[in-house]
A = this chain, B = another copy of it.
């Protein structure tokens, strides 16, 4: 993406980094454990020049770290940084949505497990303090301290309708 979103909005800022058809596939591979250029290439089907561009962007954005492993041929590995690892709820939520809403129960393309117990990962849902699942209408958005005047007006106008 060349033109960036300028709204003070966390979704827009997320899309400034990940808002294209390929970047989240690279992140998927990182979560699965892929580290090398050739493996990203093979496992995603992304074009070489786009992969190169996205890996650079993700390093620049402190989502991946380029590690020099000093080998000929495969000189670098790409590892998730702390900032990259903090995408885990996004990765899980997207993974579960695609499985449920596209493949459907019993036809999942991927199963996620808790590594230590071997149990299936539980469904990720926003919950209140008592543990009750919250749905769309249970959640209210308000401008935060970092919202521009325009963002404040925009969000307040919707929420008071």
Interface residues of A (CB under 8 A from B): 1, 5, 7-15, 19-22, 24-25, 28-29, 31-34, 39, 42-45, 80, 83, 85-104, 106-117, 119, 121-122, 124-129, 134-147, 151, 154-155, 158-159, 161
B110 touches A144 (CB 8 A): yes
A10 touches B97 (CB 8 A): yes
Quick one: copies of this chain in the complex? 2
A141 touches B31 (CB 8 A): yes
- Taking CB as reference atom, which chain B residue is nearest A127? B122
Interchain nearest-CB distance for A65 vs B (Å)? 13
A141 touches B111 (CB 8 A): yes
B9 touches A28 (CB 8 A): yes
B139 touches A114 (CB 8 A): yes
Selected A-B contacts with CB under 8 Å, 23 pairs: A5-B45, A10-B96, A11-B94, A14-B94, A15-B24, A31-B139, A33-B159, A39-B158, A80-B136, A86-B97, A88-B135, A89-B97, A89-B125, A99-B146, A104-B146, A107-B144, A108-B146, A109-B146, A110-B155, A112-B139, A114-B128, A114-B138, A117-B128
B96 touches A113 (CB 8 A): no
Known: A126-B89, A135-B85, A159-B32. A142 touches B110 (CB 8 A): yes
A107 touches B21 (CB 8 A): no
A112 touches B97 (CB 8 A): no
**Separation of A85 and B10 alpha carbons in the complex (Å):** 19
Q: Which residues of B contact A19 (CB under 8 A)?
A: 19-22, 24
**Separation of A119 and B25 alpha carbons in the complex (Å):** 34
